[in-house]
């Protein structure tokens, strides 16, 4: 399960899951659609959902192309990663490096 806790693979591997891959969002949309279908009928099915997954993935790719000017899909996928990471209890990823040297040390180095 994605982002179930901070020990899952997703929070520990931001290089893979940040931003959340399009394929992961397509899978989430497919699972949601399957769950709704089963809830509406009251019957658990073994339907093949690969075509549904492929349709969701194609839609996401078209959405990416259509909104490329705004980089919208990456913003959404990054937000989903950050929210999932937060709820897993994992530490936030710092985007800006933090200096371990004081300002005085840096000033002294510049004077040399």
| Nearest 10 degrees: Cα torsion 22, 28, 30, 35 | -170
- The tens place of each residue's pLDDT in the chain, 112 residues long, gives 455 545 555 445 566 566 889 999 999 999 999 999 999 999 887 788 999 999 999 999 999 999 999 999 999 999 888 888 777 777 666 655 555 667 777 677 677 6
Contact 3, 87 (CB under 8 A): yes
The token duo for 108 is 């002294």
């Amino acid at each position: 399960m994605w982002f179930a806790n901070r020990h899952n693979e997703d929070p520990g591997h931001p290089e893979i899951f940040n931003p959340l891959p399009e394929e992961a969002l397509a899978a989430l949309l497919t699972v949601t659609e399957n769950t709704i279908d089963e809830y509406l009928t009251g019957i658990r099915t073994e339907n093949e959902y690969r075509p549904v997954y492929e349709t969701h993935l194609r839609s996401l790719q078209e959405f990416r192309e259509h909104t490329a000017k705004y980089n919208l899909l990456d913003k959404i996928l990054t937000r989903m990663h950050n929210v999932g990471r937060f709820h897993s209890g994992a530490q936030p990823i710092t985007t800006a490096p933090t200096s371990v040297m004081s300002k005085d040390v840096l000033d002294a180095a510049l004077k040399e």
